[in-house]
Amino acid sequence: MSDAFNRLEQQRSEALHGLRDREAFLNAVLGSTPTGMFVADLKGEITYLNAALLAMLGLGSVASTDDIWQRIHEDDLEGARDLWRHALRQGADFLRQLRMRDSDGEVLWVEVHASLVQGSDKPLGIVGTVKDITERRHQEVLRRWEAEHDPLTGLLNRRGFERRLEDALADFIKTGMSSALILFDLDHFKPVNDEGGHALGDELLRRVAQVAARETRGSDHLGRQGGDEFGILLPSCTLEHAEKIAGSIRDAIAQVSVSQADKAYFVTASIGVTHFMEGDDSIAAVSARADAASYAAKHQGRNAVVVHRSHAGRSADSGVL
């Protein structure tokens, strides 16, 4: 009996030593990896955070589950909690990109991936990784911005402008909330390029973009359609107010000038204005009305605003400011 007891005690001791060795090995692996890692129990309570994760978030060596949740950005917190609870209930993976704040309050974008660890007969707990993807997100945002913006003026390019026009038209069809559209091109721009060169023409385009931006509202979308053609989408704007904004833009552009070799170059704008109307089912129809009004402004002597108030193909009640 004594020998059997001693053998059992020796086996237990060896097993404990083996378990401690495995835990020490696991802690060493988790502690040395540059990726943030954490361990949680089956209730979702975090029991371990490695050094990389503590450093990433600026946490002390003793950090609780609440400390982690408090670091999640307020706009991402509710969605993260809901998904975490779902993952715990279903035994599913938790995978989410969200924002967290470090000890200085700086916002980090992180990707969290947590999985259930299965033992031989039952789940043992949850192991997760936390990757800092802030730079990757910034690069993605930059690529999206570059894909929809004109590098010369910083305004929306044709693609970006038309996407916002599509969105506004969809809102109009769904809710009836109308928006206005202004299209204009510059009068007498060709001599600037021909005589002063493209660099001078580019400088004038930048200045036109700046004064147009100053005359519009923060909610408006400005775009350079190409060359010396520009567009402005005014969400939730009446035709009358759009007409006033167009007049202000016309006056501001007439004050823009560039100089070279003691010669000053001025331009004006031929501006067309319209708004969404019942029956509009494509941005092409809306754009065609504004474009026709812009052409009419140029035909009537330039430096003018023409408002197109009816559908293309019907009589247009157009007025010149």
**Alpha-carbon dihedral of residues 154, 157, 159, 161, nearest 10 degrees?**
80
Q: Determine, yes or no, domain membership for 68.
A: yes
**Alpha-carbon dihedral of residues 52, 55, 60, 64, nearest 10 degrees?**
-60
Contact 229, 212 (CB under 8 A): no
93 lies in the same domain as 207: no
Does residue 13 register a pLDDT over 80?
no
- Rounded to whole angstroms, the Cα distance separating 154 from 209 reads 8
182 lies in the same domain as 236: yes
Does residue 7 register a pLDDT over 70?
no
198 lies in the same domain as 296: yes
Q: Determine, yes or no, domain membership for 23.
A: no
How far CA 42 is from CA of 65, 88, 114, 263, in Å, comes to: 13, 7, 12, 77
272 lies in the same domain as 300: yes
Q: Which domain holds residue 160?
A: 151-307
113 lies in the same domain as 260: no
186 lies in the same domain as 59: no
Q: Determine, yes or no, domain membership for 207.
A: yes
Last residue of a domain, one of 138, 163, 193: 138
Q: Determine, yes or no, domain membership for 143.
A: no
Q: Which of 180, 219, 182, 223 is nearest to 205 (CA)?
A: 223
pLDDT band at 313 (very low <50, low <70, confident <90, very high): very low
pLDDT per position as a tens digit, 192-242? 989 989 999 999 999 999 999 999 999 999 999 999 999 999 999 999 999
- CATH code at 239? 3.30.70.270
Does residue 131 register a pLDDT over 90?
yes
pLDDT band at 293 (very low <50, low <70, confident <90, very high): very high
0.85 exceeded by the pTM? no
Beta carbons within 8 Å of 189's beta carbon, 6+ residues apart: 201, 204, 228, 267
Neighbour order of strands in the sheet with 107-118: 46-49, 36-40, 123-132, 107-118, 94-101
**Alpha-carbon dihedral of residues 198, 203, 206, 207, nearest 10 degrees?**
-140
The total number of structural domains that make up the chain: 2
Does residue 314 register a pLDDT over 50?
no
109 lies in the same domain as 172: no
Q: Determine, yes or no, domain membership for 4.
A: no
Does residue 300 register a pLDDT over 70?
yes
272 lies in the same domain as 197: yes
- Rounded to whole angstroms, the Cα distance separating 304 from 271 reads 6
Tracing tokens 């400088």 back to the chain, one arrives at: 203
DSSP string, 244-297: HHHHHHHHHHHT-EEEETTEEEE-EEEEEEEE--TT---HHHHHHHHHHHHHHH
203 lies in the same domain as 133: no
Amino acid code (one letter) for 74: E
Q: State mean pLDDT over 286-298.
A: 96
pLDDT value, residue 320: 46
201 lies in the same domain as 269: yes
- Rounded to whole angstroms, the Cα distance separating 300 from 159 reads 30
Q: Determine, yes or no, domain membership for 312.
A: no
Phi-psi region of 262 (alpha: psi -120 to 50; beta: other; left: phi over 0): left
pLDDT value, residue 28: 52
155 lies in the same domain as 303: yes
pLDDT value, residue 11: 56
Angle made by CA atoms 265, 271, 273, in degrees to the nearest 5: 160
pLDDT per position as a tens digit, 74-98? 999 999 999 999 999 999 999 999 9
